[in-house]
Structure formats: C-alpha cells, structure tokens
Amino acid sequence: MPQALDGIRVVDIGISTAGPYAARLLGDLGADVIKVEPLDGENTRSLGLQYGNTGYLYHVNNYNKRSITLKVQHPRGRDVFLDLVAKSDVVIENFAIGTMDKWGIGYDACRRANPSIVYCSVKGFGESGPLRDRRAFDTVTQALSGIMHSTGKPGDPPLKAGPSVCDLMGASVSSLAVMCALVARRPYESQLVDTSLFDMGAFALMPLWPLARRGIADGLRSLGNEHPLHAPYSDYACADGRLMVAVVADAQWRALAPLVGLPAAWTRVQRVEQRRAIDAALAAWLATRPAQQAAEALQAVAVPAAPILDLAQVATSAQIASRRMLGRIRHATYGEVPLINTPLATGTADGRSPRRHQPPLGENNDEVIGELLGRRDEFASLRAEGVIR
Amino acid sequence: MSTFAEYRSWLVVEAATGYGAATVAGKLFADLGCTVARLVAPQSVPDDGIDSDRELDELVSRGKHSVAIDSTSPHATAALDALLGAAEVLVADREGLLRLQAALHAADLRWRYPALTVCACTWFGMDGPLATWTGGEEIVQAVSGIMSITGHPGSGPTRVAGAPFTHAAAMLAVTSSLADVLRKKAGEKAGALDVSVYDTAIAFESASLPVYFLTGTAPHGIGNRHSMSVPWNSFRCADGWVIVCAGNHPNWVRMCEMIGRPELVADPRYATQEDRIAQVDGLEAEIVAWTRQRPVAEVEAQLVAGNIAGGSVLALPDVLAHPQFRARNLADAASGGRQAGGIFPLNREPLAVRQGAWRAGAGTRAILMDRCGVSPADYERWRASGALGDENGVAYAAGA
C-alpha cells in the first residue's frame, strides 16, 4: 500500500535527537530520508548505551533512513550537498544558529539550489528572539521554558522531565511543520519553517498559563503530583505499588465518594478545601488493595486512576503489545534489534514497524552520490580529498 | 502575516470534550488557517462552570467556530451530513467519535463520508485493554512509565508538569492527518487514523526503554544529571537555580576557568569524563561552592560569556513575561494572551490565523449556512426543532 510521502526525498543533516527524530518521523510516513553524516559518523553513533557497537539512540532515531558521508565544510562537499538538495524536497538541520550559513549550505544557498525546497531549522530557541544565539540542549530549554521549575516534589530542587521532552516535541513540531509545507507547497515557492525547543517547553506548560495569571504558578513544585485546583489529585500508596488518581469533574467525585465514605455532594472548591481529609480516606481505602486492582475498580466507575508502572512493567504490558509500540528488526550485523515503533498513524496496516534498520555509516554513498547525483566518477578524488569516506 | 494558502479552503471538524489531544489538534489546524468547526452539544454545561475550565477552553480556541448540534435530535443527521460531508478532516476524542458513530448509525464514518479523514486522538488508543479507561495527562504518565523515570533519586515517581504528551500527541495527530490528505490526493481512500497520548509517551522513552531492553532492569529518575556527562546538573545560586550542561572536555576547561578554579583541569580526580562521572559528588561540590555565592543573573551571564550551555531555571510567570516568549509569539497578542499563539513561524513571520467564533454555538449559523451550504429554510427548521443551538437560541454556560 502506498505511503503518504512516497516520492518525497528528505535530506537529514541533523545531529543528536531533535533533527534526526523529525526526519525519521517523515521516513515513517514513507519519505526517502538521506542522512548526511560527517566522515566519522553522527555523534549518537558512539554515544551512550551501545547495541552492536552503535549507540542505541542512533538505532532509534535513524531507522527508515539511508546514510551518506560527506564533509560539507569542504568546497566539494558543499557542492555535493547542494546538488543533493536540488534533487530533494526537504532539508532538516538542527545546528547552532549560523552554522549552516558558515558552511555555505544555509537556507539561502539551499533555495538557490532548489527554489521549491522546504527548509526546516530546528533550534534551541528558534531563529528569532534575544536567546536565539544561546547554546542549548534539551535540559537547558527545559530550564528556561519553565518545565523544571514546575516539576518536582516539595523541598526538592527543580526537576527535569525524565525523557527529553523538548527535543522530542521539537522533533514532532518539525515533522508537523514540514508536512504542512509539503501539503501546501507550490512550485518555485521555498518555505522556511523555524521550530524551537524552547517554544515546545512553553507550549507543554500551556495548561498552566492561567495559573500563572492567577499568581499561583510560582509554587507548583511544592505541590508535587497534586493540582492546585483539583482534589483528589495525587499518587497514593497501594498494597504493592503506587496509584495516580486525578479527579477533575464532579461526576468523577460522585462515583468515588461512596467508596471512601465521604460526601458525594462536595464541590470542586470544597474538595480542594478538604484535600487532606480526602487524601487520608483514599489512602486508607487503597492501602490494602493492589494498584492494578484498585485502578480497575476506580476505572469501572469512570474515575481517572492508573498504576504507576516502571519500564519493565510497561514493556511487558498487554497495552503496549496491543498498541504494537515495540518492534524488532533484523540487522545483518547485529541480529534482532528491539525498537520502539512510530507513534504516527501511517494509514497502512503494517505502517507502525520500521521498514529498514539504521544504516551503516556511508552505506548508501554509491547509490546516492554515485547513482542519484551522477558523480560516481568523482569517488576516487572525493575520497582522496577527504570529502567522502 | 504568513500563511499556507492551501488550508484556507479546508473545513476541519473537532469532536471532543474538555482539554485533550483532540482539542489541541483542533487548535493546530486553526493555526494553519483551516476553518475549524468545534462540535458541541447545545445543552453542554461543564460540571461546575469553574473559571479554570473556561480559561483552558479559551486557550485552545483561537480561530475555532463553535457549532452546536444535538446529536440525539431527529434533525441531527441532516445537519451532521452537511457538516461532515464538507469536511476534509474529523479529529475526535473517543467519546466524540463514538457519539457521532451512534448518531449516524455508522461504525466507520467513512462509509458515509468517503472523502473524510477520520483521526481518533485519544488517551489510550481505540483498541487495547486500556482503550475504555478514563484518561488524563498524569494518568497516561503513570501507566506509560513516564513518572517512574522522572524524579530525583529517592523522591519517588514524579509527574512532568503541564501536558507535554497530550500536546505532542496532538501534533502527531495533525501530522498523521496531513499525511492522509496527501494519500487522498494521490488517489487513495481516506484513512481511519488512531493516534494516542499513550503511544506518544512510549515513543518518547527512546532513551530509557533501551536501558530495559539491554539490561533487563528498569531505569529510574536520576534528577537533572546526565548518565554520561559531568558536570550536568542544576546548581543552587544565592537567589535561585541554574542549569549547567558542560559535559565535554573543552566545556569542563571553560567551567573551571569560570569558577576561578583552573587548577581543577589538571586535577587527576577529574582528568577524564569517566573520572568526572566517578567523582561527580565532589566535582559538583566545587561548582556549587562558587554558584551559591552569586545571584542567578551573574552565573548565567558568565555561562553565556564562557559559551557553556546552561541558564537560569525560570518560573512560569517569568517565562510568560520573557522577551523570548513574546518574540516567538507563543501567546496571541490580540486576545491579551488568553489564547495561545502559533507553534512555529513560517518564512520568519507568525502563522496567520482567521478570526473565529469560539463561544458555544456562536459559529453554528456561519458554518452550516455560509460554509456548508445549508439553506436558510433548513437551518431555521432544524433550529426550531432544537437540533441546533446558536448565539440567538439556547443559553449556554460552557464558554459563555
């Protein structure tokens, strides 16, 4: 079955997570993603946990791609890159501001090479604003966008989210922005989409903006897992673990109240006033019940509750299997590689699973630089000059 | 103002209740310039009409048109046919989708509207053992393992503030829907798409789930540290906190200079990254001895001057007042900041957004008559029967 981005070519010159993951999402939708790597490989190939001598993050962020090596800082490398851009539809990059221009392959150079190009610039703080030149990682943008200050437990230091939420939301918005441009594009109209990790951190906190306007957002961390406007809303000890309960509606409270012996008529305001009494009653009810059983009992009456699972429990759960979020792919060198499937709905029956595993470094030099760009007879000199590997 | 002209001809229907991924997806379609019809029930009244619900509702309502159709009315089918028959995409939460399926007696809405992309955007997906569970951002964070990998050591599982996974799922739902439109343009049938906050949270564990894959052990929160780079943490200052991410050797050298301890570069305890990881507590003590004596602003200025990644840990009110937040147009100035702005600029300008009529029922007449071609006679007949609500009819509490 054809995929949405069949026939679309994406040049991925990103590093780490935000750029490469954005490009991979487009690959999940069928795009031919060509990853342009330095001669010693993109940084995550050697970073962190390894699976078969390749960083696991590289496996996850770079399946459904081909790989070429290219020293774009070299004049001949730049020419090859722009030649590739001329035969492509999308460029994604996430280098520091000015880096691509310094190499002669920024937006202006790319649109000269291809007047219809969609150019996606993924930055820590975007291409505008007073922080645009600041160095950034996911953690820095979590700090400056308010996520860290708002996350944590009473008395603890500020806390970052476990996952790299700004990086991954940055990737998500970048694939979205590119898709918007592709659906709407017209010949000879290039598009610059400018996405930022800081924007995503602030966007993630959007439900809390009204609290900030009310002057009650400063102390969110002191609430731990509670909500200033709702109760019961926290995590509670069960017989064998912890349970998250998040009651936000009167109907939910009316269903819960009889179980814990409290007045069903309490309004939201009264529930917040009686937060500690409710917590004590709920804690007593939960103390003797296993978390899963308690969650099922509460969910049976439409009360939002769920056990707090660790990743071992998650990875072996019926839910993750049912959603087909874990997959395996056969790698010629490494054997079976366990992977996380795409969260996108691809519209095809088997679209969740990777089509191809992460590419060995420069595996596709010949078919891309040689065949697609017609430069096979330059290989020897490009290698001799250190432009390709 | 910049825009994608393509989307100005699109009608997108949002069928969702409360603040969830489908509601946010509707906002993202509106950001693109689509006409977004937000389907509400004429009699819909929130539980207790609290201000915070209205404020949340308004945040994601920029550019939307509220269309009030009572799906239980005998005339609802004709009104829904007019609306959905003209739409490019339906984005719905589970309840919204099931309600429409029941009203239209169609288990698959594409039987009735073959060109309609149907995107379910739910907490747990349309199938699986948790599909019918009542969800929420923190509920998904709990059962997907996110809370277990967020936290300081010993502090227990911690939720991530805000709604990062709800919002990310909304973005992925719109991306999936746009992909389906491309497939339709290529001659394929419209898709029935299923995007969930749960799947999104799992996908975002791309650096943590592999730890379990490879070791068989579940990882837990490590605070703000980085398992492979030191120094990388939050540090207390005289008046707040800063984050420092100086994990490679050149950064470490600059960091030592910044804190006035250049001799630490040659200190054998910290000679290599592995040494620094092994001696992380002592190394961080050296840094905090310097940061604690100084205000955040001074430390941040020195980080910037030293080209070291880091910065202040800002409270949300400070973020909303920050020049960077304003420069990126993240809040909509025209609404006094009560509505969210766009999430990315296009060609260096904010995305243009159309005016909407988001208060309950206020867009019913304009959408059905002007956009969907319903005749005045039909409109008045349906309205008189109680199938429709508009600004001249039913009194609303929701969003009024």
pLDDT-derived band at B232, boundaries 50, 70, 90: very high
Q: What is the pTM of this model?
A: 0.97
Average pLDDT estimate for B6-25: 95
Which has more confidence, B348 or A8?
A8
**Which residue of B160, B227, B232, B254 to mutate against A (max A Cβ within 10 Å)?**
B160
* Nearest beta carbon to residue A217 from set B59, B169, B317: B317
The mean of the pLDDT values for chain A is: 95
User: Is residue B218 within 8 Å of residue B157, measured between CB atoms?
Assistant: no
pLDDT at B48: 47
pLDDT digits 0-9 by tens, B179-203? 999 999 999 999 999 999 999 999 9
**Side-chain half-sphere CA neighbours of A143 within 13 A:** 27
pLDDT-derived band at B360, boundaries 50, 70, 90: confident
Q: How far is CA B46 from CA A45, A266, B55, in A?
A: 51, 16, 13
Domain A220-237+242-307 in CATH 3.30.1540.10? The answer is yes
Whether residue B34 is predicted with pLDDT greater than 90 in this model: the reply is yes
pLDDT at B180: 97
Percent of chain B topping pLDDT 90: 78
Q: How far is CA B224 from CA A48, A105, B151, in A?
A: 17, 35, 8
pLDDT at B50: 59
* Nearest beta carbon to residue B218 from set A5, A51, A310: A310
The answer to whether A9-204+322-384 and A220-237+242-307 have equal CATH topology is no
**Residue B288 has which token pair?**
């905090």
Q: Which class does domain A9-204+322-384 fall in?
A: alpha beta
pLDDT at B1: 52
Strand partners, B119: B91, B193
Most confident of A139-153, B47-61, B383-397: A139-153
**Side-chain half-sphere CA neighbours of A230 within 13 A:** 23
* Nearest beta carbon to residue B147 from set A164, A308, A341: A308
**Which residue of B248, B316, B348 to mutate against A (max A Cβ within 10 Å)?**
B316
Whether residue A241 is predicted with pLDDT greater than 90 in this model: the reply is yes
Backbone phi, psi, residue B119, to 5°: -115, 105
pLDDT at B394: 43
The number of C-beta contacts closer than 8 angstroms across A and B is 464
pLDDT at B45: 47
pLDDT at B339: 87
Q: What sign results for the dihedral spanned by CA atoms A343, A346, A347, A350?
A: negative
Whether residue A118 is predicted with pLDDT greater than 70 in this model: the reply is yes
Least confident interval from A8-22, A34-48, A327-341, B215-229: A327-341
Yes or no, beta carbons of A182 and B182 under 8 Å apart:
yes
The mean of the pLDDT values for chain B is: 91
Which has more confidence, B164 or B57?
B164
Whether residue A177 is predicted with pLDDT greater than 90 in this model: the reply is yes
pLDDT digits 0-9 by tens, A22-56? 999 999 999 999 999 999 999 999 988 888 889 99
CATH number of B232-320: 3.30.1540.10
User: Is residue B83 within 8 Å of residue B367, measured between CB atoms?
Assistant: yes
Please list, in sequence order, all residues whose beta carbon lies within 8 angstroms of the beta carbon of residue A299, skipping any fewer than 6 positions away: A305, A306, B132, B133, B134
Q: Which residues of B touch A200 (CB under 8 A)?
A: 164, 343
pLDDT at B399: 33
Whether residue B400 is predicted with pLDDT greater than 70 in this model: the reply is no
Whether residue A386 is predicted with pLDDT greater than 70 in this model: the reply is yes
Please provide the distance, in angstroms rounded to a whole number, between the alpha carbons at the two ends of chain A. 36
Q: Which residues of A touch B344 (CB under 8 A)?
A: 173, 177, 193-196, 199
Whether residue B395 is predicted with pLDDT greater than 60 in this model: the reply is no
User: Is residue B128 within 8 Å of residue A324, measured between CB atoms?
Assistant: no
**Which residue of B90, B119, B175, B277 to mutate against A (max A Cβ within 10 Å)?**
B175
**How many CB atoms lie under 10 A from the CB of residue B228?**
13
State whether residue A50 is helix, strand or coil.
Answer: strand
Alpha carbons A31 and A185: distance in angstroms, whole number: 16
C-alpha B11, offset from chain centre = 21
Nearest to B358 by CA among B65, B83, B136: B65
Average pLDDT estimate for B279-289: 97
pLDDT-derived band at A335, boundaries 50, 70, 90: confident
Alpha carbons B172 and B163: distance in angstroms, whole number: 14
pLDDT at B56: 87
Least confident interval from A228-237, B52-61, B186-195, B214-223: B52-61
Domain borders along chain A are 9-204+322-384, 220-237+242-307
Annotation: CATH topology of B5-204+330-389 = Rossmann fold (3.40.50)
Yes or no, beta carbons of B203 and A130 under 8 Å apart:
no
Whether residue B351 is predicted with pLDDT greater than 90 in this model: the reply is no
Strands A305-307 and A326-331 come out as unpaired
Domain borders along chain B are 5-204+330-389, 232-320
pLDDT-derived band at B334, boundaries 50, 70, 90: confident
pLDDT digits 0-9 by tens, B66-92? 999 998 888 899 999 999 999 999 999
pLDDT at B51: 66
Shortest CA gap A377–chain B (Å)? 37
Burial tier of B293 (Cβ tally within 10 Å: 0-12, 13-18, 19+): exposed
pLDDT digits 0-9 by tens, B90-99? 999 999 999 9
Run of H or E residues at B12 = strand B11-15
Residue A187 touches partner B, C-beta closer than 8 Å: no
Strands B89-92 and B11-15 come out as parallel
Nearest to A8 by CA among A24, A35, A26: A26
State whether residue A336 is helix, strand or coil.
Answer: strand
pLDDT digits 0-9 by tens, A64-82? 999 999 999 999 999 999 9
pLDDT at B347: 87
Q: How far is CA A362 from CA A41, A52, A332, in A?
A: 8, 17, 15
Q: Give the CA dihedral B304, B310, B312, B316, nearest 10 degrees.
A: 120
- Taking a contact as any Cβ pair under 8 Å apart, which residues of chain A between 59 and 88 contact chain B? 59-61
Average pLDDT estimate for B308-320: 96
Least confident interval from A193-202, A380-389, B352-361: B352-361
**Residue B13 has which token pair?**
């229907």
**How many CB atoms lie under 10 A from the CB of residue B153?**
10
